[in-house]
Amino acid sequence: MSWEVVIGLEVHAQLRTRSKIFSGASTAFGSSPNTQACAVDLGYPGVLPVLNGEAVRMAAMFGLATGCSIARRSVFARKNYFYPDLPKGYQISQYELPIVHGGEVSIRLEDGTEKTIGITRAHLEEDAGKSLHEDFHGLSGIDLNRAGVPLLEIVSEPDMRSAREAVAYLKKIHTLVRYLEICDGNMQEGSFRCDANVSVRPQGQTELGTRAELKNLNSFRFIEKAINLEVERQIDVIEGGGKVVQETRLYDSDKNLTRSMRSKEEANDYRYFPDPDLLPVVLDEDWIEARRAELPELPGAKRERFVKDFGLSDYDADVLTSARETADYFEQVVAGLDDAKLAANWIMGELSGALNRDALDIERSKVDAAAMIGLLARIKDDTISGKIAKEVFEAMWEGEGSADEVIEKRGLRQITDTAAIEAIVDEVIAANPTQLEQYRAGKDKLLGFFVGQVMQRTAGKANPGQVNKLLREKLKG
């Protein structure tokens, strides 16, 4: 039997507001436990929540960027359940009337085609606290700093058909919330989290299969692995004559397996009802249009512009626009250099390699856009070859100074003096009579050997174009 995989994702994006969604407590990450939880976050008697307008604005920006409808009237609801990290005994969320619904994003598949993934809804809610199970000698500790931090829960249609598609969608949402500056996207710190709903069905069947929900997925790599594992497990269960049960499963990255956490609650277990402490959120046309006017250039539009204006390939344009900061860096370099392809190659090659190695964001790059222009300009005017430029780049990265300073200090200026190169070419030919004979007998490949010899004698500084030209002439005899 051939199986079709069906995946729908729920993304929780922590909104980058300074204070919490219903209180004035700080949302900053990493403070000592329970220093950023006020009476509202703790659910003390007599307190009242006050909605943070900034969270509403951010949710609307997301909706507008994904072609969703922005509800003119949305309602907060109480989702009731008991858990130690939820002081009130309910989470304030949205249920029947979410602030954003019905949009889509497009993803690019490996074969280069595009696919549209539907966004069912995005609603505002508060985060819960955190249970800490280590260092309490058999007890659990609770940190309520995170309680009340605003979340935007983004729910997709079950439109994805493979783990790869799910990851592509997730990366798209990740890119988008960072462009919009509504979420920092930090998966390690938990500010961008994802639950994956996975089911399988026989190829051709229209009805959906029973799904399992995977939690605890905190990296793109784990998400792909966990989904693939879960798909295999479900197929095994069905082919072994069993039935998939609807449940929540946890991914264990150490053991590389998923295991059952709890059977899935039905919505009516939560006894949702409108929160009587909060008024409905009413947004008018003018306000929504003002938010639309605030939208930055979005990744898709930027990508198209990069292809059209700079002649980049779809692939390069995709990579360079995947983060707004990378796109900005690229545009700054091109503005000072006028060679988009060279800029793209260096940003996607040496620069991104160095950033990865040092685990740095591009905003904290040790070679900024101005310094990069200084380096690439020296390749363009033939002061150094592309190969030597890599050495110069490394030195710049280590803080040795600008490209010009490094080139002077290390004596890396390319030899472009034809007479000087010619003398070395003659020396090399004279020193290798056997290879010369073989070359002339038709072994063309030996050109590379001669080039290598000249480069060795000049410590890589001879202009490669000139070396090639001179060697071809002289080797002919």
The piece of 88-96, 99-107, 195-203, 235-243 that touches ligand ADP (CB under 6 A) is 195-203
The residue within the footprint of ligand ADP, chosen from 6, 183, 334, 369 (CB under 6 A), is 6
From the number of C-beta atoms within 10 Å of its C-beta (0-12, 13-18, 19+), residue 52 rates as: buried
234 forms part of the interface with ligand ADP (CB under 6 A): no
Decide whether 8 or 103 has the Cβ nearer to ligand ADP.
8
Site for Mg ion in 145-164 (CB under 5 A): none
9 binds, among ligand ADP, Mg ion, none (CB under 5 to 8 A by kind): ligand ADP
Helices (H), 50-97: 53-65
The piece of 25-33, 134-142, 197-205, 357-365 that touches ligand ADP (CB under 6 A) is 197-205
Decide whether 247 or 391 has the Cβ nearer to ligand ADP.
247
| 414 φ/ψ angles, rounded to the nearest 5 degrees | -70, 145
Residue the block writes with tokens 């009237």: 73
Contacts of 111 (CB under 8 A, 6+ apart): none
157 binds, among Mg ion, ligand ADP, none (CB under 5 to 8 A by kind): ligand ADP
The piece of 1-9, 51-59, 68-76, 456-464 that touches ligand ADP (CB under 6 A) is 1-9
Decide whether 269 or 294 has the Cβ nearer to ligand ADP.
269
The closest alpha carbon to 210, from 225, 196, 200, belongs to 200
- What is the C-alpha to C-alpha distance for residues 154 and 103, in angstroms, rounded to an integer? 11
Beta bridge mates, 154: 11, 122
Decide whether 79 or 461 has the Cβ nearer to Mg ion.
79
Beta bridge mates, 74: 281
The residue within the footprint of ligand ADP, chosen from 28, 39, 109, 208 (CB under 6 A), is 208
- The least distance separating ligand ADP from the CB of residue 190, rounded to whole angstroms, comes to 19
197 forms part of the interface with ligand ADP (CB under 6 A): yes
| Closest residue to Mg ion: CB criterion | 10
- The least distance separating ligand ADP from the CB of residue 260, rounded to whole angstroms, comes to 16
158 forms part of the interface with ligand ADP (CB under 6 A): yes
CA angle 142/143/145 to nearest 5° reads 155
Contacts of 382 (CB under 8 A, 6+ apart): 414, 416, 463
216 phi-psi bin (left φ>0, alpha ψ -120 to 50, beta other)? left
- Report helix angle 163-179 to 299-310, nearest 10: 90
- What is the C-alpha to C-alpha distance for residues 17 and 295, in angstroms, rounded to an integer? 17
Site for ligand ADP in 395-454 (CB under 6 A): none
303 forms part of the interface with ligand ADP (CB under 6 A): no
Site for Mg ion in 365-404 (CB under 5 A): none
Decide whether 246 or 458 has the Cβ nearer to ligand ADP.
246
Decide whether 10 or 184 has the Cβ nearer to Mg ion.
10
- What is the C-alpha to C-alpha distance for residues 211 and 158, in angstroms, rounded to an integer? 10
The piece of 8-16, 41-49, 357-365, 410-418 that touches ligand ADP (CB under 6 A) is 8-16
Site for Mg ion in 278-297 (CB under 5 A): none
6 binds, among ligand ADP, Mg ion, none (CB under 5 to 8 A by kind): ligand ADP
102 phi-psi bin (left φ>0, alpha ψ -120 to 50, beta other)? left
10 forms part of the interface with ligand ADP (CB under 6 A): yes
- What is the C-alpha to C-alpha distance for residues 37 and 52, in angstroms, rounded to an integer? 16
The piece of 40-48, 151-159, 422-430, 451-459 that touches ligand ADP (CB under 6 A) is 151-159
156 forms part of the interface with ligand ADP (CB under 6 A): yes
- What is the three-class DSSP state of 462? strand
Decide whether 10 or 404 has the Cβ nearer to Mg ion.
10
Q: Do the Cβ atoms of 188 and 168 come closer than 8 Å?
A: no
- The least distance separating ligand ADP from the CB of residue 110, rounded to whole angstroms, comes to 21
- The least distance separating Mg ion from the CB of residue 292, rounded to whole angstroms, comes to 30
157 forms part of the interface with ligand ADP (CB under 6 A): yes
From the number of C-beta atoms within 10 Å of its C-beta (0-12, 13-18, 19+), residue 178 rates as: buried
By rule CB under 5 A, what string of x and - marks binding of each residue 1-30 to Mg ion?
Answer: ---------x--------------------
From the number of C-beta atoms within 10 Å of its C-beta (0-12, 13-18, 19+), residue 458 rates as: middle
The closest alpha carbon to 29, from 21, 39, 17, 38, belongs to 17
Which positions lie near Mg ion, rule CB under 5 A?
10
Which positions lie near ligand ADP, rule CB under 6 A?
6-10, 155-158, 197-199, 208-209, 211
